[in-house]
Amino acid sequence: MTTGSGTAPAHPAETTPAAARPARRGAYRRLSVEERRAQLISAALGLFAHRAPEDVSLDDVATAAGASRPLVYRYFPGGKQQLYEAALRTAADELELCFAEPRSGPVTVRLSQALDRYLAFVAERDTGFSALLQGGSVAETSRTNAIVDEVRRAAADQILLHLEVAEPGPRLRMMVRTWITAVEAASLMWLDEGKQPPMAELRDWLIDHFVTLLAATGASDPQTARVLRAALAIEPAEGQAGALARRLMPVLGDASHLL
Amino acid sequence: MTTGSGTAPAHPAETTPAAARPARRGAYRRLSVEERRAQLISAALGLFAHRAPEDVSLDDVATAAGASRPLVYRYFPGGKQQLYEAALRTAADELELCFAEPRSGPVTVRLSQALDRYLAFVAERDTGFSALLQGGSVAETSRTNAIVDEVRRAAADQILLHLEVAEPGPRLRMMVRTWITAVEAASLMWLDEGKQPPMAELRDWLIDHFVTLLAATGASDPQTARVLRAALAIEPAEGQAGALARRLMPVLGDASHLL
């Protein structure tokens, strides 16, 4: 029906993971090596969403994926550690996709769209997100830290790209990376608090945090001040930066003795 | 000279760590159990300041402390893991002391003094600070995470105390905890960057960050807005909040279309 000989292979595709076979149709459609691998990782990520990695066995993954334990071991001969790293790698790649956003329009709108995707990812992964970020005792910390750090770096690069900064100075870089850590920490707290406040409220707060942190940094760093000026210039009054500015006025109004 | 019989003990004090002996003077002054333990932990912390915990052996600690390897093992029969946890515990206790600050005067001044102590601690521990925070592969993550989380909680409690908030709502709590994570992340970056910018500059930026994050949060949370108003009311114009407000004016001046 699909393969060269026209007959079913003597051995299931899974016994020869080195050779990727074309996918076949029908009730007995066998998965290609890549598809099977992706399916096992997806099953593992599904389990990590409700349990800590150390509480997920390869048996559990096999059951969830409708596969045999030996098959799971054939794909991940390094066992739990290898499966965990592969899952983290996959999650990291998905996470990096969240940050991709066209470079047009007000920065707060772009940030809002990227944060919506990021928070949806966090909400879906839930416990698994915490576990992936924190490594857990199952994983070798330095290797998993490297994967997570790569995502943080990718996020920082994206933000600097949107701020139109080709050569960020140390203060601006530190500001952006600090905000990314804050976003991460806030997401973990948000999961801990049963996803309260509502996602849109958390997102808006994170954007307000970004804008005010740009201001705090711009107050003593000329490059950041230029970036902030350029960003605010294209923010519309009815947008989020405008709403923030108007909401801040009464709060700061009482502090005119400081000026 | 010191003990009941008036003669030197047949065995060195270190062979009976269960019984704390009074310290003795002279060239051969023996350490009490607690002193010896503290000395070994201090030697370990000194080594962690320059090397990752996994690269520090009990032999190294013995050499640094001028003690024998068997002695180190008598005090830490659990080996490296136990020594590491004891060192982390000691560092955590020292760190918590940094936060103690009288509850009077402008909040930015109190924060400034606590941050000076904290950053001095970070600078002194250097590599060890990163290692302690990140656990490293030598330690069981969940136990060391619990110790580090306790320090974060203590810091948050202190800040809420200084803000005179008896019952912080979820938004204010999230704000304070987010800022603490940001401080931690910024300290690690600061160490990575060879302690640049200068410590006082980093401290002032962290305070500006705190004030603007209070404002960003107060813009949509009434409790935080009240806290911010009360805090700004006692800030003097010549203080840091005043300096921040005046430096922000020209940066934000171009954004009047948002109001």
Q: In whole angstroms, what is the distance from residue A205 CA to residue A137 CA?
A: 32
Chains A, B: CB pairs < 8 Å: 171
pLDDT at B116: 97
How would residue A65 be classed by pLDDT, with cut points 50, 70 and 90? very high
Query: Shortest Cα distance from B162 to chain A (angstroms)?
Result: 19
φ, ψ of residue A143 to 5 degrees: the values are -70, -45
Which of the residue ranges A21-30, A123-132, B164-173 would you say has the lowest mean pLDDT?
A21-30
Q: CB–CB of A246 and B233 under 8 A?
A: no
Instruction: Give the CATH H-level superfamily of domain B85-235.
Output: Tetracycline Repressor, domain 2 (1.10.357.10)
In this complex, which of B137, B141, B247 lies closest to A219 when CB atoms are compared? B247
The domain limits of chain A are: 80-233
Q: Which residue has the higher pLDDT, A1 or A239?
A: A239
Q: CB–CB of B141 and A142 under 8 A?
A: no
Which of the residue ranges A120-129, A163-172, B27-36, B234-243 would you say has the lowest mean pLDDT?
B27-36
In this complex, which of B134, B196, B249 lies closest to A259 when CB atoms are compared? B249
Q: In whole angstroms, what is the distance from residue B176 CA to residue A62 CA?
A: 43
Q: Which residue has the higher pLDDT, A74 or A5?
A: A74
Q: In chain A, which residues have their Cβ closer than 8 Å to the Cβ of B251?
A: 215, 218-219, 225, 228-229
Query: Shortest Cα distance from A240 to chain B (angstroms)?
Result: 9
In this complex, which of B141, B209, B232 lies closest to A258 when CB atoms are compared? B232
| Residue percentage of chain A with pLDDT more than 70 | 85
Among A209, A184, A108, A28, residue whose Cα is nearest residue B184: A184
Determine contact, residues A116/A203, Cβ cutoff 8 Å: yes
Q: CB–CB of B216 and A219 under 8 A?
A: no
Q: Residues B208, B210, B215, B217: is their CA dihedral positive or negative?
A: positive
Q: In whole angstroms, what is the distance from residue A215 CA to residue B244 CA?
A: 10
Q: What is the ipTM of this complex?
A: 0.83
Query: Shortest Cα distance from B211 to chain A (angstroms)?
Result: 8
Locate the chain A residue with the closest alpha carbon to B180.
A182
Encode pLDDT of A69-106 as tens digits. Answer: 999 999 999 988 888 889 889 989 999 999 999 999 99
Half-sphere exposure of A167 (CA within 13 A, CB side): 0
Mean pLDDT in consecutive groups of 10 residues from the start of chain B, 259 residues:
40 44 52 92 88 85 94 93 89 91 95 96 84 59 80 94 94 96 93 94 97 95 95 94 90 82
Locate the chain B residue with the closest alpha carbon to A205.
B217
Locate the chain A residue with the closest alpha carbon to B221.
A205
CATH of domain A80-233: 1.10.357.10
Length of chain A: 259
Among B133, B173, B146, residue whose Cα is nearest residue B157: B173
pLDDT at A48: 85
Q: In chain A, which residues have their Cβ closer than 8 Å to the Cβ of B152?
A: none
Taking residues A126-132, report their average pLDDT: 76
Q: What letter does residue A49 receive in the DSSP assignment?
A: T
Q: In whole angstroms, what is the distance from residue B28 CA to residue A211 CA?
A: 62
Q: Which residue has the higher pLDDT, A134 or B32?
A: B32
